[in-house]
């Protein structure tokens, strides 16, 4: 399996995977295209034998104070190329491929990117369930609960403090 930057040719597979994971709440192919165009350096896929097994997308910004997804969902509007915070928009792994380290490798790729670029932190909102524990195992800490993050569920704002790579 390889982790690489997503490309335009991957969008159909990414959109299909997004629909499988998120159902009616899935981002459209057009939205995913806008996010890829916005920040290609922060959009990765995990691929094996030509098949996309998972992906992660992110943006750069300086936001610290938001409570709901509706406040931030237009990520291209909030993306700031000079931002000091890498925000993970979404991590998705095919259901049949979970618990094989794919999600962890994708997150670590962004953590390494943030370190190389000497960013302050990596930030995300974890959904309900096991995700908080998953991200804690990758070095994230809980910042605060967001009880109304989505209309149908709460979220947990989490951060990973970046340690810059010394050359």
Tokens for 123?
Answer: 């930030």
Label the pairing between strands 85-93 and 121-126.
parallel
Give the tens place of pLDDT for each residue, 108-121.
999 999 999 999 99
Question: Is pLDDT above 90 for 99?
Answer: no
pLDDT score at 117: 95
pLDDT score at 50: 94
Q: With contact defined as beta carbons under 8 Å apart, do 110 and 44 qualify?
A: yes
pLDDT score at 152: 82
- DSSP bridge partners of 86: 60, 122
C-alpha span between 94 and 102 (Å, rounded): 9
C-alpha span between 156 and 141 (Å, rounded): 10
Whether the pTM exceeds 0.75: the reply is: yes
Question: Is pLDDT above 70 for 165?
Answer: no
pLDDT score at 163: 81
Q: Domain segments of the chain: what residues? A: 2-161
| Runs of H (alpha helix) within the chain | 11-22, 29-38, 69-72, 75-78, 102-116, 131-136
CATH fold for domain 2-161: Aminopeptidase (3.40.630)
């Amino acid at each position: 399996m390889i982790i690489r930057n997503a490309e335009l040719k991957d969008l159909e597979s990414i959109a299909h995977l997004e629909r499988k994971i998120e159902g009616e709440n899935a981002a459209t192919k057009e939205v995913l295209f806008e996010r890829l165009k916005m920040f290609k350096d922060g959009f990765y896929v995990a691929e094996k034998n030509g098949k996309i097994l998972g992906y992660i997308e992110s943006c750069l910004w300086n936001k610290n104070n938001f409570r709901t997804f509706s406040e931030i969902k237009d990520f291209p509007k909030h993306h700031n190329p000079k931002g000091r915070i890498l925000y993970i928009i979404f991590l998705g792994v095919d259901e049949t491929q979970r618990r094989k380290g794919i999600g962890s490798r994708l997150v670590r790729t962004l953590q390494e990117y943030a370190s190389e670029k000497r960013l302050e932190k990596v930030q995300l909102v974890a959904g309900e369930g096991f995700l908080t524990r998953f991200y804690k195992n990758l070095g994230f800490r809980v910042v605060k609960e967001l009880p109304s993050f989505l209309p149908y569920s709460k979220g947990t704002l989490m951060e990973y403090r970046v340690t810059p790579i010394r050359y």
